[in-house]
A and B are shown apart, each in its own frame.
Chain A
């Protein structure tokens, strides 16, 4: 093989191989499930304020996993994982909590932290902490420190003790505990949030399955 032919082989290898890899990459990126964004609804009355309605279910039959519940209909889930809010805005969050509960791994998360006033309104009462042995889930949001994106919000969602039955989608539940709180967003960026109540599978810490799988008990909060 002469030199120019060899160069041709080199170029062809890089282009063909690189091209195949790039195609595979695009295919992979587009095959990665993207859940529909839940946008914060701007308030009609107050400036720089919007509201976000979330729900937590004991299964996956009522949320974004569709009527059949996706791959794991019996896993606990947040109804939406991909939250989108504007920057420098007060976000009023309402979470309908339909699940039962138990004890936290770490009682630290029975506190309401990082909200405006350091409190949340749970079933109509304003509180700064709840019973650590009767928690259903938590909404715990964190930023990336060292990059002016520090943000820490953690609100416990008490276990649902209502008995009145309701039906949403294919799921049958009891009337939810309603938790309301507000926090202020800072600069733009993608923040991660998840639940800190041990509600997945596994024998150590119960953070398997729904807790360790993207799109059930964790998600992103995109500030833009």
Chain B
């Protein structure tokens, strides 16, 4: 028989669980913001927050499994090469199974509710005079045009604090339009226009990378984007060659 049938000996398990939970929560709180690109839009703030919330919610569950596994290795591992004696022949424990089911269902429902709420915010448009940008993906270059201005560019320029509506399409195969700093991604499909919204709220430079495998030079289908003040943006637009 195992030596750890005494109820008191589970104390160690609780301590490991508590410690691992704290570690998990700390990682959840700090790792996403530390590792992810600088947040430059409302969508990205939400993305980072969601990651933090999910990490913190998952920490006690993951820590529970790790703690039990470690505790099992410490206290229930059989020493020696002989065949271990039978353990307690427990086949069912309705209370444990029910509790586990209820807890995991509650967590899942929480994730779903959070997700649906975030989705509504994420995909929504505030409808206030968005700047429309037509995005064209092709093997292996992005190009951007600003309807109503005859300006076309291989780099993306956006004004700060104004909603942008990207209308994304492709002229050959499927590409993935992704601004990692803004938490938005949508495929560029041939013959179809897909639309996404975001509101940049920080000045600076970011990268646009293709996330859908598109052949030979997929790894080089990258360009730069810039968030400017609205005055800078207006003068940039004016400085560009006007195409017929």
Q: Mark B210-228, 1 if CB is under 8 A from A, else 0.
A: 0000011100101110000
A196 near B141: Cβ-Cβ < 8 Å = yes
Out of B155, B171, B173, B207, which one reaches A146, CB within 8 Å? B207
**Shortest distance between the CB of B217 and any CB in chain A (Å):** 6
Cβ-based interface call for A192 (8 A): yes
**Shortest distance between the CB of B211 and any CB in chain A (Å):** 16
Q: Mark B138-158, 1 if CB is under 8 A from A, else 0.
A: 111101010000001011000
Cβ-based interface call for B61 (8 A): no
* A142 and chain B: residue at smallest CB distance: B220
Cβ-based interface call for B190 (8 A): yes
Cβ-based interface call for A128 (8 A): yes
Cβ-based interface call for A194 (8 A): yes
A218 near B171: Cβ-Cβ < 8 Å = no
Cβ-based interface call for A214 (8 A): yes
Chain B residues with Cβ below 8 Å from A129 are: 243
If A128-B241, A204-B173, A207-B172 touch, whether A105 touches B220 (CB-CB below 8 Å) is no
Chain A residues with Cβ below 8 Å from B152 are: 108, 111
Chain A residues with Cβ below 8 Å from B172 are: 105, 198, 204-207
**Shortest distance between the CB of A219 and any CB in chain B (Å):** 10
A214 near B216: Cβ-Cβ < 8 Å = yes
Q: Looking at chain A, what size class is its interface with the partner chain? A: 20 to 34
Chain B residues with Cβ below 8 Å from A128 are: 241
**Shortest distance between the CB of B150 and any CB in chain A (Å):** 12
A106 to B216, CA, bound (A): 19
Cβ-based interface call for A150 (8 A): yes
Chain B residues with Cβ below 8 Å from A106 are: 136, 138, 143, 171
Main secondary structure of the interface of A (DSSP, over half): loop
Cβ-based interface call for A140 (8 A): yes
**Shortest distance between the CB of B125 and any CB in chain A (Å):** 27
Chain A residues with Cβ below 8 Å from B190 are: 204-205
If A106-B136, A146-B224 touch, whether A212 touches B171 (CB-CB below 8 Å) is no
A142 near B173: Cβ-Cβ < 8 Å = no
A145 near B138: Cβ-Cβ < 8 Å = no
Enumerate B162-201 residues with CB–CB distance to A below 8 Å. 171-173, 190
* B216 and chain A: residue at smallest CB distance: A212
Chain A residues with Cβ below 8 Å from B207 are: 145-146
A108 to B154, CA, bound (A): 9
Out of A108, A146, A152, A214, which one reaches B136, CB within 8 Å? A108
Cβ-based interface call for A157 (8 A): no
Cβ-based interface call for A121 (8 A): no
A27 to B180, CA, bound (A): 38
Chain A residues with Cβ below 8 Å from B141 are: 140, 142, 196
Chain B residues with Cβ below 8 Å from A211 are: 139, 216
* B214 and chain A: residue at smallest CB distance: A207
A218 to B139, CA, bound (A): 12
Chain A residues with Cβ below 8 Å from B222 are: 142, 144-146
A205 near B220: Cβ-Cβ < 8 Å = no
Cβ-based interface call for A113 (8 A): yes
A205 near B154: Cβ-Cβ < 8 Å = no
If A108-B143, A145-B223 touch, whether A205 touches B171 (CB-CB below 8 Å) is yes
A104 to B215, CA, bound (A): 19
**Shortest distance between the CB of A206 and any CB in chain B (Å):** 8
**Shortest distance between the CB of A194 and any CB in chain B (Å):** 6
Known contacts A142-B140, A154-B154, then 4 further A-B pairs from the complex at CB < 8 Å, ordered by chain A residue: A108-B143, A146-B224, A150-B224, A205-B190
The 3 A-B pairs with the shortest beta carbon distances in the complex, nearest first, are A205-B172, A105-B171, A145-B224
